[in-house]
Amino acid sequence: MRLNNERPAGTGVILVTFIVAALLEVMPLSDSLNWVRPDWMLLVLLYWVLVLPHRIGVLWGFFLGLYHDVLVGTTLGQWALAYAFGAYFMLAAYKRMRVFPLLQQSAVVFLLVGSANLLAFLVQESVGRTLYPPYTILYSAAASAVLWRLVCAALRWTQLRFLVR
């Protein structure tokens, strides 16, 4: 039984954070920096799954992935599958992830982002639209792992400021 102050709130704020992440995904960068672009939408998705697992889950990941597919013009379903995969594994490990120290959380994020990017690469490879070499997956995963705590701090502030629960 929920009390009045325990109702879910802040869905609009969560959607705005995903829109900001989408803007960061398509922000133009030089060719040398484009290889190390963090996967902003996946990072934001992982954060919300970590702190609100009862509200944000695999379905959110799937639809965000479809949105990402349309946004960047890739094979439809490629990022939907990858984001659903990332959300599923974060959902399965969120209790452990919450108590991990900083370095261990970043390592898990590196593995999740790297696995999701590898899955997206394999989908591209299967349809013959590979646009980049496979080792570049590690650059994005490493950049995402390095920025994980910064993303957590910014989203935690947003969550507390706008009472997202």
Contacts of 117 (CB under 8 A, 6+ apart): 39, 82, 137, 140, 141
pLDDT over threshold 90, residue 4: no
Residue-wise pLDDT for 44-82, tens only, equals 999 999 999 999 999 999 999 999 999 999 889 999 999
Contacts of 115 (CB under 8 A, 6+ apart): 85, 86, 89
Indicate the number of domains in the chain: 1
Q: Is 17 within 8 Å of 158 (Cβ atoms)?
A: yes
Q: Which domain range does residue 143 map to?
A: 4-27+36-161
**Per-position b or e across 100-114, b if 16+ CB within 10 A of its CB:** eeeeebbebbbebbb
pTM reported for the whole predicted model: 0.93
pLDDT over threshold 90, residue 16: yes
Mean per-residue pLDDT, 23-32: 91
To which residue do tokens 């829109």 refer?
Answer: 19
- Please state the φ and ψ torsions of residue 53, each to the nearest 5 degrees: -65, -20
